[in-house]
Amino acid sequence: MPTELPYAAEAETSLGYEELQVLRTQYYKEIEQGHVTTQSKFNYGWGLVKSSSADLQTEGVKLLQEIYSASPAHRRECTYYIAVGYYKLKNYAYAKKFNDLLLSVEPENMQAQSLRTLIDQAVQRDGYIGMGLIAGAAAVTGLLVAGLVKRSRR
């Protein structure tokens, strides 16, 4: 994690298996009892987003979006962690969308400001990687065409 972004630690760290298992157990216990509290659902969604697995992160984003839609009182927390989830999934457009939504109502929010910087850096980094791949493919294509032209002149 870059040292200049202390507030965006959630975006760069993962939750351990044992910690996630505690949240999972509570969530499914409540499902079995017939009523899941918003807090347990949020905690489990948060834990899933903080996992290192893309499948679990996707599930976490889904749970948080369900809370976001159903519970206006929890939108602030959900908005941030949905943005973190999308960031970890490398879906930077949605990460930026949700993070900007939070910043539109809390422009001084240090977590969201730090996350914005991480998103912008990732977009820039991925852009450079994409340009490198395109340049490499163009060079290979050029060599192949040159080889075919040279062969056809023989």
* CATH code assigned at 123: 1.25.40.10
Q: What is the pTM of this model?
A: 0.76
Q: Is residue 130 part of a domain?
A: yes
Q: Is residue 90 part of a domain?
A: yes
Q: Are 28 and 131 in contact (CB under 8 A)?
A: no
Biggest CA-to-CA distance, the chain:
80
**pLDDT, tens digit (0-9, with 9 covering 90-100), for 64-97:** 999 999 999 999 989 999 999 999 999 999 999 9
Q: Is residue 3 part of a domain?
A: no
> Mean pLDDT across the stretch 49-72?
96
Over 90: is that where the pLDDT of 131 sits? no
Dihedral sign, CA of 72, 19, 3, 130?
A: negative
Of 4, 8, 2, residue with least CA distance to 103: 8
Higher-confidence position of 55 and 3 = 55
Q: Is residue 2 part of a domain?
A: no
Range of the domain at 63: 8-152
Q: Is residue 84 part of a domain?
A: yes
Q: What's residue 100's pLDDT?
A: 97
Looking at the structure of the chain, the number of domains it has is 1
Q: Is residue 1 part of a domain?
A: no
